[in-house]
Amino acid sequence: MSDTETTPTNATFDQFGLHADILKAIAEQGYTTPTPIQAEAIPVVLGGRDVMGAAQTGTGKTAGFSLPIIQRLLPLASTSASPARHPVRALILTPTRELADQVAANVQAYAKHTSLRSAVVFGGVDMNPQSAELRRGVEILIATPGRLLDHVQQKTANLGQVQILVLDEADRMLDMGFLPDLQRILNLLPAERQTLLFSATFSPEIKKLASTYLRNPQTIEVARSNSTATNVTQIVYEVAEGDKTGAVVKLIRDRGLKQVIVFCNSKIGASRLARQLERDGVIATAIHGDRTQSERMQALDAFKRGEIEALVATDVAARGLDIAELPAVINFDLPFNAEDYVHRIGRTGRAGASGDALSLFSPNERKQLADIEKLIKRPLDVQRLTVDTPVRHHHDERGAPRRERDDRGGSRRRTTGAHERPHGTHHRQQPVDDFFLKPYEPSPSAVSAAAKRDEAPAAPQKPASKQPLAALLGGFGMPRKTTPSN
């Protein structure tokens, strides 16, 4: 069974009636023809209807809603410097900081020749610059729910004039973890508004829940629901759990991958794997929720510049990372949520390019594999992968590096690199001297010294002082001062 293929379209952006300033920005981005989701969504959004759009990851959903939003807000654009002339009219909510930053960059590029202002707010960074930008006024606000509520509480964001609400990656936005914050935000919005939901995956439960937020929505599915792109080759390699690290190194080296995202299920596992790859000669770094936003952005920028070969990430990076011509992704762990598999492998094969989705499968992950195949409605090609020399097992790596005392009495971090241990070998226990296993036996000199002490007469003891303690301290024998009597 093959995946649903993206149907080519003969439409052009000129046919949508977009403003010349928007068309100019589109041309500068190098876009010539719209993708199927763009061709179907743009006219509907321009018409003001609610939309539930499903399309494969990497097919241009962001432009599918941002271009018509800019077109609809253009009549309200103002060149005035007054913040009152620039209220928030469109709100785009995303589940992750990386996705918010990416959407904001796209919106800014599409609206660069207009008077519309846009801003992005997300957690992990200082609020003050965001507050200053919001106070100057913005028409299009891209935000993560938690940070947006922080700004609402600080009264730097007013949502009373929002006309269009977008939930990007709506399946995750409607997840239980976001629902309380999302409901609080919806209560702050006008009842009369246009609501747009876009995602690569929609489960039946999510569709049922989404219907409570939409009014007579039009469903747009340019490909079979929860399908994966045909230009992505999917291979599953069966390996032992302890050989997974060696398998990642082997895949990177054998395929000559200079840029690859490796997905793990846990933050600790991502950090551990990044350190292990570094020790085996692969330039790697980890990106996950425990790292600060500045660290995550620095790692992502370095990866985009090609300075990092392997970006080890949790699912926080599965949504929102847009790497041009990323050749491959590797699933070190199969995800517990099958829908995350679709988003993970959607990082490669974007915009019509080809890519490889390589997954490592151990016997204890049979349930995850079955759930994935059930979701995408096709069996995956499972192959055996032999790792000649396992690189390192999980129990060889400790979560935190050991510390040693330095010469100044402080502590310093011990760095263990590949030069301290031969590649591909495990730590060997040093041989123990038999001398330390024998019971204690006193030396002859110690025995003779003890005998001499026994034969020597006891030294006479000094008589104890009969003086009271007070006398020793000067309390007695000192002349007492007398005062003359009257």
pLDDT block averages, 10 residues each, the chain of length 486: 42 90 93 89 95 79 94 94 94 90 93 96 92 96 96 96 93 78 93 90 78 88 64 90 93 92 92 93 89 84 89 76 81 90 81 82 92 89 79 43 38 39 42 51 57 54 53 52 48
Residue 207: predicted pLDDT: 80
Residue 65: predicted pLDDT: 95
Residue 397: predicted pLDDT: 43
Cα–Cα nearest to 121, from 85, 160, 94: 94
Report the SS3 class of residue 29. coil
CA distance 363 to 54: 33
- Cα 216 to Cα 175, 210, 220: the distances in Å are 22, 11, 13
Residue 400: predicted pLDDT: 41
CA distance 167 to 161: 17
The CATH T-level fold of domain 13-221 is: Rossmann fold (3.40.50)
Residue 405: predicted pLDDT: 35
Residue 224: predicted pLDDT: 55
Locate all alpha helices (DSSP H) within 240-365, ordered by sequence: 244-254, 267-279, 293-304, 338-345
Block residue for tokens 């040093």: 430
CA distance 169 to 343: 10
Which residue ranges make up each domain of the chain?
A: 13-221, 232-396
Q: Do domains 13-221 and 232-396 have the same CATH topology?
A: yes
Half-sphere exposure of 120 (CA within 13 A, CB side): 19
Residue 412: predicted pLDDT: 39
Report the SS3 class of residue 247. helix
CA distance 332 to 109: 35
**Sheet arrangement for strand 310-313:** 284-287, 310-313, 260-263, 328-331, 355-361, 232-238, 381-384
The CATH T-level fold of domain 232-396 is: Rossmann fold (3.40.50)
Is the backbone of residue 343 left (phi > 0), alpha (psi -120 to 50) or beta?
alpha
- Token readout for 468 is 């009271």
Residue 420: predicted pLDDT: 38
Residue 452: predicted pLDDT: 56
